Structure 1
Amino acid sequence: MMTPAAIAELRSGWRILVACALGIAASAIALPYYSIGALTKPIALETGWSRTDIQFAIAFSSGLGALTAPVTGWLVDHFGVRRVALPGFAGVALGMMIAAMAGSTLVFYLGFALTALLGAGTNPVVWSKVVTSRFDHARGAALGLALVGTALSAILLPLLITMLIERTNWHVALAAVAMLPLVLSLPVAWLWLPSEPVRPSLAPAQPTVSIRSAVLSLRFVVLAISILSGYLAVSGVLTSLVPAFTDRGLSPARAAVIAGTVGLAMIPGRVLIGILIDRYWAPAVGCVILLIPAVACLVLVRATDSLNLTLCCLALGLAAGAELDLLAFLTARYFGRARFSKLYGLLYACLAVGSATAPAMFSRLREVSGDYTASFVSSAALFAVAGITLLLLGPYPSISGPSAKGSHSDAD
C-alpha cells in the first residue's frame, strides 16, 4: 500500500497528472508510433510502397526525436514546461497533417520528420521532468499514471484508424489523428501545466555529480544499454502486430482490436509498476517485468487463434512502456534531480534510436524471411537483455543528511 504522504501527493497533483497523460498521448513519439501499424497495409495496398518503406517513417520521427531530446531538456529547465509543450502540440499536428497529404514517400517522411522537430516539446523529457519535480513519496506511481497516456494511444489509435479507413481512406484517418494534439491535449496543458520552470518539491541534498562524470559512469552505460535493447524490442514487436495478425488471416478490424489490448493492459501495468518501484528495488522489478514480454514474443511465433494472440498482447501490455517509466525513475534515483532533464534527455536519445530503427528493421526481416518469426524471436532476446542488464545497476546511492531517511531523496 502507498503511504499517507504518497496518497496526499497524488491527490494534490492530479491535474498535473491528467495534463501529462493527455500530453504524452498526443505527443510526437506516441502518435506516429501507435498509428503506423494500422496504416501499414492500407497504405501499401493503395500506393504500392513496401511495408519497409512505410515503417521507415518512424526512423524520421523517433530518430530526430533522439537528437532533439537533450535540447528539449535544456529548454524545459530555462523556459518552463508549458511554454515548451504548447507550441510542440501545434508542431505535431502540422507534421502529421503533412504526412496525411503525402503522395510520395518523400513527403510522407517529411511529415514524420517535422512531427519530431516541431513537436519536440511534447516528448517524454517534458512530462517526466514535471512528475519527478512535483512528486517525491509517490514518484513511481505518479510516473505510471502520467505516462499511461501512451496506453490511451495504443488502445484508441488502431481502432480509430481502422474505422476511418473502412469508411474513407488512410489520408482522412491520418488527418484525424493529426488533429488530436490540438483538440485533446493543448487546452488541458494550457490550463493545468505550470507556466514557470519547475523545481523539486522537496529540498534534500542535491547531487554534485557532473554531467561528464555521470555519462562516463557504469550506471549510465547500463541504463543506456537496457533502454536501447528494450525499445528495439518494443518498437519491433508492437508495430508488427496488426500486419502479422492480418497475415495470419484475421480481418483488419479484428487485428486492431486484439492489438489494442496491449494498451488496455498497459494502464493497470503502469500503475502497478509505479507502486512496486516505490516500495522495492526498481531494477529487480524491471527485470521481472521485462521478462514477461520475452515469453510472450516466443509464444507469438506459433500462435494463430484469437485467444492466444490476445493473451500475448495482454502480456506485452503489462510491460510495454515499462522502460519509459523505469528510465525516469532510475535517472532521478541514481543521479538526482538537479541535472535530471539533461541526463534524461541523453538517455532518452538511446530510447529514441531503438524506437526509430526497429520498425523498418523488423519489417525488413519479415520481407527477407517471409513471416514474422525472426522478428518475434529477436524481440524476445532483446527484452531479456534489457531486463537482466538492469541488475548491474547495484544498490541505490545513499544520501547523508536528515532529509535522506525514509524518503526518495536524490542521491549523489
Structure 2
Amino acid sequence: MANAQGELRGNWTLLVSACTGIICSSIVLPYYSIGALVVPVTEAFGWGRAQFQAAILFSSGLGALTAPLVGWLIDRFGARRIALPGIVGLSVGFLLASSMDGQLWLLYVAYGAMALLGAGTIPVTWTRAITTNFFRRRGLALGLTLSGTGLCAIVVPQYAVWMVDAFGWRTAYLGLALVPLVIALPVVYFGFHPREGLSGSDGSDAQPHWGLTLSQAFRSGKYWVLLVSVFLIYMAVSGIGPNLIPSLTDDGLSPAEAANALSVFGAAIIVGRVLVGYLVDHFWAPGVAAASMMLPVIGCLMLVGEPSYAGALLAALLIGIAAGAELDLMSFLAATYFGLKHYAKIYAVAYATLATCSGTAPMLFARIYDVTASYDIGFVISTGLFGLGGLMMLCLGAYPRQARLASST
C-alpha cells in the first residue's frame, strides 16, 4: 500500500501535466467547445446544423487516421517530443476557424488542421506515459489523467458561451486558440517528463516486458470485442455531447441552463474516471464496465421529450459517469489484455475507432434533428448502443496470465 501511494506522490507532476494535455487535446477541446458555437455560426452563414457538426468529422476523423502514426512516433521518439509541437498546432487550427467568411470548406480545413497539426496531443500520447510509469495504481492514475475530459466539459462550454455572448463567435475561436498556448504549453513543458521504459517507478521491473504485437492483437477475438464495444458506446457518447446544448435549448431551457447541464456532464466524467479507475484496480474491469454502462440507459430515456431543468441535470450526470468510465476502461483494458510492449500501436488503433465515432456521431445526431426537428430518436438509439456495448464487455473473459502475475507483485 505504501509503495502504491508513493507511486502516485512520486509522479504527481506527470499526472498534472498529462491531465492538462488531455484538456487541450485535439479531440477534447474542439469536441466540447463546438456545442456553444452551433447556433451563432449556423445563423451567421445559413448552414444546417449537420453541416456544421460535420466539422468534428474532420477533427476526429483525421485524428483517427493519424493515430497509428502517432503511436509509432511515440515509440520511436518519446511522448514529450510529440506532445509539445502538437499543442502549438492545435492553436493554429482554432486561429484558422476564426477567419471563416461563409465558405463551408474553410470550416472543414480549420478543423482538419486541428487534427493534423495537433495530432501529438491525442490521448495515445498521455496514456502511453501513464501506463509505462504506473503499475500498482495504473487504473487510478489513468482515471485522474483522463478526468481532463471532464474538466474540459465543465469549463470550456461556459467559457465559449461567455465569449460568444460578450464578443461574438470569431473572438470565441481566438479565445479557444489561447487555451493550449497559455495553459497547456507551459505545464507540459515543465512537468511532462515521462519515463519511456517499462520499469516501475521504483526502478524495478514491476511488470514483465510482455505484450502482443499489433498483428497478434488483430487475430485475437478479445481485441475485436473491445473495438466493437468501444464503437457502440462512443457512438452514443459522441452523438450526445456536442448536441446536448442545442437539444436542451430547443426544449425550452436557456443557453446558460443548457451550458450548466453540460458542465454537470463534465463533472460526472471526472467522477466516472476516478471511481472506475479505483474500481478496476480492485475488481474485474469488464464487470465494472457493464455495470457503469447501465446508467446512461436511464439518462438517455430521461432526455426524450421535454425534460425539466432538474431532469436534464440528472440525465447529464448519469450519461457523464458512463462517458468518464469508457475512455479510462479502454486504456486499462488495452494495457491489461494485450500488454505494454506494443501498447502505443494497439491503443492507437482502438483510439482510431473512438475518434471515428467522435467524428461521425455528432453529425448523424444533428442530421436526425434536421430531418425530424427533434433529437428524441437519437436519444432512443443511444439507449440501445449503451446497453449492448456494456454487455459486450463481459465477453472479454479472464485477465491474461501475465497480467495476473504482474498484479500480484
**CA 1:101–1:143 in 2, change beyond 3 Å: closer, same or farther?**
same
Distance 2:24 2:165 in 1: 23
1:210 and 2:209 matched: no
Q: Which residue of 2 aligns with 1:300?
A: 303
1:26 and 2:24 matched: yes
1:343 and 2:346 matched: yes
Q: Which residue of 1 aligns with 2:391?
A: 388
Q: Which residue of 2 aligns with 1:51?
A: 49
Q: Which residue of 1 aligns with 2:245?
A: 242
What does residue range 228-267 of structure 1 map to in structure 2 within 5 Å? 228-267=231-270
Q: Which residue of 2 aligns with 1:90?
A: 88
User: 4+ residue stretches of structure 1 with deviation over 3 A?
Assistant: 195-200
Cα distance, 1:134 vs. partner? 0.4
Q: Which residue of 1 aligns with 2:132?
A: 133
Distance 1:195 1:142 in 2: 13
Cα distance, 1:235 vs. partner? 0.6
Cα deviation code 1:243-286 (max 9, x no counterpart) = 01110111212211122110112222211110000000000101
Distance 2:32 2:329 in 1: 20
What does residue range 112-127 of structure 1 map to in structure 2 within 5 Å? 112-127=111-126
Q: Which residue of 1 aligns with 2:174?
A: 175
1:148 and 2:147 matched: yes
**2:96 is aligned with what amino acid?**
I
Q: Which residue of 2 aligns with 1:158?
A: 157
Cα deviation code 1:366-411 (max 9, x no counterpart) = 111120111101111111121111000000011399x64614xxxx
The partner residue of 2:370 within 354, 364, 367 is: 367
| Contact residue 44 and residue 50 of structure 1 kept, 8 A | yes
Normalising by structure 2, report the TM-score: 0.96
3-state SS, counterpart of residue 132 of structure 2: helix
**2:51 is aligned with what amino acid?**
D
What does residue range 5-44 of structure 1 map to in structure 2 within 5 Å? 5-44=3-42
Q: Which residue of 2 aligns with 1:282?
A: 285
1:330 and 2:352 matched: no
Distance 2:383 2:173 in 1: 31
1:272 and 2:285 matched: no
3-state SS, counterpart of residue 28 of structure 1: coil
Q: How many residues align?
A: 404
3-state SS, counterpart of residue 205 of structure 1: coil
**CA 1:251–1:96 in 2, change beyond 3 Å: closer, same or farther?**
same
Which deviates the most, 278-287 or 311-320? 311-320
Q: Which runs of 5+ in 1 are unaligned?
A: 408-412
Q: Percent of aligned positions with the same letter in both sequences?
A: 42
| Contact residue 153 and residue 266 of structure 2 kept, 8 A | yes
| Contact residue 88 and residue 119 of structure 1 kept, 8 A | yes
**1:21 is aligned with what amino acid?**
C
**1:120 is aligned with what amino acid?**
A
| Contact residue 62 and residue 116 of structure 1 kept, 8 A | yes
**2:38 is aligned with what amino acid?**
T
**1:129 is aligned with what amino acid?**
R
**CA 1:400–1:34 in 2, change beyond 3 Å: closer, same or farther?**
closer
Distance 2:290 2:235 in 1: 16
**Pairwise CA RMSD:** 1.5
Cα deviation code 1:3-34 (max 9, x no counterpart) = 33321111111100000110010110011100
Distance 1:280 1:196 in 2: 27
Normalising by structure 1, report the TM-score: 0.95
Distance 1:73 1:405 in 2: 25
Distance 1:400 1:231 in 2: 26
Q: Which residue of 1 aligns with 2:408?
A: 406
| Contact residue 163 and residue 253 of structure 1 kept, 8 A | no
Cα distance, 1:293 vs. partner? 0.9
**CA 1:218–1:248 in 2, change beyond 3 Å: closer, same or farther?**
same
Cα deviation code 1:132-174 (max 9, x no counterpart) = 0000010000000001111111011111111111111111111
The partner residue of 1:60 within 39, 58, 63 is: 58
Q: Which runs of 5+ in 2 are unaligned?
A: none
**CA 1:27–1:405 in 2, change beyond 3 Å: closer, same or farther?**
closer
The partner residue of 1:318 within 316, 321, 343 is: 321
Distance 1:14 1:406 in 2: 24
Distance 1:30 1:336 in 2: 26
Q: Which residue of 2 aligns with 1:187?
A: 186
Which deviates the most, 210-219 or 136-145? 210-219
| Contact residue 80 and residue 196 of structure 1 kept, 8 A | no
Cα distance, 1:303 vs. partner? 4.3
Cα distance, 1:340 vs. partner? 0.3
Cα deviation code 1:321-355 (max 9, x no counterpart) = 32211111001100110110010001111111111
3-state SS, counterpart of residue 225 of structure 2: helix
Which deviates the most, 192-201 or 346-355? 192-201
Q: Which residue of 2 aligns with 1:4?
A: 2
1:353 and 2:353 matched: no
Q: Which residue of 1 aligns with 2:222?
A: 219
Distance 2:208 2:136 in 1: 16
Distance 2:183 2:371 in 1: 40
| Contact residue 129 and residue 194 of structure 2 kept, 8 A | no
**CA 1:247–1:193 in 2, change beyond 3 Å: closer, same or farther?**
same
| Contact residue 365 and residue 372 of structure 1 kept, 8 A | yes
**CA 1:119–1:200 in 2, change beyond 3 Å: closer, same or farther?**
farther
